[in-house]
């Protein structure tokens, strides 16, 4: 029987690449995004659910759709996330912007993880499943023009630690991937800024943009069962950005 996975944020970027990578490696995938239709090009046992991660009813319906599709949930990959609609200095950040980002990136991730974990606990076997949260280098890197995003991703890091602790007794591994500067729709609007930082100012030891497939490959390593003694770990997939250099 194929392993089954839920992947959120599959309309593009990291979510799409992750769903494609898992499908190519024999997973059945239930994908979620807010778009009405997506994923037509994905090859394999894929079903799509249109919903809003910040809505409790949609989270429940996603879990139900995955169970109906595959009978069980073996992996959850929390990719879905948003940036502030307007980049604003920390002193001008609004409550509306904060709530928008936190409700999806942190609250939505938290409660979808809770719901999926309850289903995974029912699985047979010693290793009942795995959860991978896509956080960001912004979990520990200050960007004062998008403070709500940084706070939301720091929250995802704690969600990872808490669930890793709580679910270890059930053989459910919970880990986090922290992408660096990845070529997605979210970074397209600041491409010139990051081109300069990468190619002229040397912000990265590996002098190139990260690609969604770089993240998807790390997700596959965690979901494949290759690292059964790893949980609560943050993996930096960032071209070496996290290295402190003189």
**Positions marked active-site:** 149
Q: Are 216 and 167 in contact (CB under 8 A)?
A: no
Nearest 5°: phi and psi at 201?
-95, -10
All residues at 6 or more sequence positions from 209 whose CB lies less than 8 Å from its CB, including other chains? 181, 182, 183, 194, 198
Cα separation, 245 vs 182, whole angstroms? 21
Nearest 5°: phi and psi at 171?
70, 30
Tokens linked to 105: 């990136």
Candidates 158, 82, 183, 168; CA nearest to 130 is 168
Cα separation, 96 vs 99, whole angstroms? 5
């Amino acid at each position: 029987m194929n392993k089954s996975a839920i992947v959120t944020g599959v309309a593009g970027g990291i979510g799409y690449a992750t769903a494609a990578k898992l499908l190519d490696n024999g997973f059945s995938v239930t994908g979620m995004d807010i778009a009405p239709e997506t994923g037509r090009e994905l090859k394999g046992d894929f079903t799509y659910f249109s919903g809003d991660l910040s809505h409790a009813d949609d989270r429940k319906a996603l879990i139900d759709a995955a169970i109906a599709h595959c009978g069980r949930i073996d992996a959850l990959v929390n990719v879905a996330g948003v940036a502030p609609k307007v980049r604003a200095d920390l002193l001008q950040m609004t409550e509306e912007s904060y709530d928008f980002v936190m409700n999806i990136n942190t609250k939505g991730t938290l409660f979808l993880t809770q719901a999926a974990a309850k289903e995974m606990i029912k699985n047979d076997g010693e290793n009942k499943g795995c959860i991978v949260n896509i956080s960001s280098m912004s979990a520990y890197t200050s960007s004062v023009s998008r403070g709500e995003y940084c706070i939301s991703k720091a929250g995802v890091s704690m969600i990872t630690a808490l669930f890793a602790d709580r679910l270890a007794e059930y053989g459910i591994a919970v880990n986090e991937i922290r992408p660096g500067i990845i070529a997605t729709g979210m970074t397209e609007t600041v491409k010139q800024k990051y081109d300069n930082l990468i190619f002229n100012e040397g912000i990265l030891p590996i002098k190139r943009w990260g690609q969604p497939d770089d993240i998807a490959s790390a997700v596959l390593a965690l979901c494949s069962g290759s690292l059964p003694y790893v949980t609560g770990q943050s993996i930096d997939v960032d071209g070496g950005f996290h290295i402190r250099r003189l």
